[in-house]
Amino acid sequence: MQQHFYVLTRKRGLLWAARIAAVLLSAAAAAANALECSITLQTDDALRFVPSHISVPAACKDFTVTLTHKGHLPPLAMSHNWVLTKKSDLDGVARTGMLAGADAHHVDQKDKRVIAHTKLIGTGETTNVTFAVAQLKAGEQYVFLCTFAGHSPIMRGTLSLQ
């Protein structure tokens, strides 16, 4: 009888341990799903990104930026892109991007200072880019900008690795 009680108690203990493990695994899966590894930015005719700051969780493997243009002006006057670079490389990337022209989406495709970029979009269009978070370094200052002709001095934002 005593041995039967021991076996029964042990089975109940194992059942509880399995239930606790299932709850912990479920919580870990929920935490991983709660990790935001993407953001949607809006642009318009006012030469701005909304929001103007992006926090990238270091735990993300990849990060996706979706860019949506909500303006009303024609694309020849008001196209936008999203280009990520180090703050120290901002002016050089802006200059080479503008010179690259619209066919290259105003991004010099050979410029190693460009970490990630989208294509140019006009009113009502959406584009996105996904990049490896491993390209970012803790403590480094990052900026994003639009390299369409004349936009880069105003149309900028910041990005940080969290």
Report the pLDDT value the prediction gives residue 3, as an integer from 0 to 100: 56
Q: Which of 117-137 are b and which e, b meaning 16 or more Cβ less than 10 Å from the residue's Cβ?
A: bbbbbebeeebbbebeeeebe
pLDDT average per 10 residues of sequence, the chain (162 residues)? 50 51 45 78 97 98 98 94 98 96 95 98 97 97 96 97 96
Amino acid at 42: Q
Tokens of 112: 């190693």
What confidence score (pLDDT) does residue 8 get? Answer: 41
Cβ contact 152:114 at 8 Å: no
Cα gap 143→96, rounded to integer Å: 16
* Residue 18, pLDDT score: 44
